[in-house]
Amino acid sequence: MKSVPFIKMHGIGNDFVVIDCLANPWLDTAIGDFGAFARRVCRRAFSVGADGLLVLQFDNDCDCRMRIFNADGSEAGMCGNGIRCVARLLFERHVRRQELTIRTASGLRTVLVNTDGNGTFVSATVDMGAPVFEPSRVPVESDAPLVDAPLDIDGRVYRLTAVSMGNPHGVIFVDDLAALPFVEHGPLLERHRMWPEGANIEFASIRPGTKVIDVRTWERGVGETLACGTGACAVAAAAVATRRLDYPVGIALRGGTLHIDVSSDWHILMTGPAEIVFDGLLDIPSAD
């Protein structure tokens, strides 16, 4: 048996097992199949338990490469809460620098670490890039962008906006989140034939007279999670695209609130915390 060091982290309740191959390069070879490893370690009650697995790997052209595996073992292109966790780990254990660059499968991302007067990590602001509504790039099966487009699910008509933040999202605004058949319709929407690769689904409700949006999120390959960073950005982009709100916007998820604004070039800026819960060791069978 080999003992694999890991870090348990979360971003407003969206929790991860983190494998740091920068500190332990041998883990790349020792683990090998990260998808299978994710399926094993993310099982709640039977292992460490998490929404996903994050892997930090060496990259010549930036501070690190981040790979993201959902609990079902599928690999994701981007994770907003995950990248804040990786930024905190980089800042505190590898690179004592507040501006970081992290490569994802969806491209290079710049992250600004926000600190207090003592230089202690407080939050991270991520340049998430510009939202994408072009159907072929989301991807979603449609001849034109889907913005508040009607979609019938089991006799209930939702109005859905399809947007990518490095991964596909379907955003639906409703009046009452509590009245939703969330558990039934979440997976039906995630796997709807309109999505060639499946999609993350966000149900959103604007608090009257405010710029705060309450959100429940059904993540592709995971199920309901307490938070989704890319989903929060997608909801904000959809709110602006449908003329419901303007930036900045507060996105209140079950695990906490993220603050979404835009840069001068209309890239979405997401700010939120990241927490280290504990460090641990996990035994895995040796290959030899």
What pLDDT, in 10s, does the model give residues 81-112?
A: 999 999 999 999 999 999 999 999 999 999 99
Annotated catalytic residue within 42, 64, 228, 233: 228
Q: Grade residue 284 by pLDDT with cuts at 50, 70 and 90.
A: confident
| Digit-coded pLDDT (tens) for 112-133 | 999 999 999 999 999 999 999 9
Please give the domain boundaries of the chain with CATH numbers for all domains: 2-129+273-284 (3.10.310.10), 135-260 (3.10.310.10)
User: Tell me, what's the pLDDT at 288?
Assistant: 46
**228 given a catalytic annotation:** yes
Annotated catalytic residue within 21, 64, 79, 85: 79
Q: Grade residue 37 by pLDDT with cuts at 50, 70 and 90.
A: very high
For the entire predicted model, the pTM comes to 0.94
Query: What average pLDDT score do residues 64-90 get?
Result: 97
Q: Grade residue 1 by pLDDT with cuts at 50, 70 and 90.
A: low
Please report the DSSP string for the chain in residue order: -EEEEEEEEEETTEEEEEEETTT-TTHHHHH--HHHHHHHHT-TTTSS--SEEEEEE--TTSSEEEEEEETTSPEES--HHHHHHHHHHHHHHT---SEEEEEETTEEEEEEEEE-TTS-EEEEEEE----B--GGGTT-S-SS--SSEEEEETTEEEEEEEEESSSEEEEEE-S-GGGS-HHHHHHHHHT-TT-TT--EEEEEEEPTTSSEEEEEEEETTTEEES--HHHHHHHHHHHHHTTS--SSEEEEETTEEEEEEE-TT--EEEEE--EEEEEEEEEE----
Q: Grade residue 160 by pLDDT with cuts at 50, 70 and 90.
A: very high
User: Tell me, what's the pLDDT at 143?
Assistant: 96
Question: Over 70: is that where the pLDDT of 5 sits?
Answer: yes
User: Tell me, what's the pLDDT at 283?
Assistant: 86
Q: Grade residue 49 by pLDDT with cuts at 50, 70 and 90.
A: very high
**42 given a catalytic annotation:** no
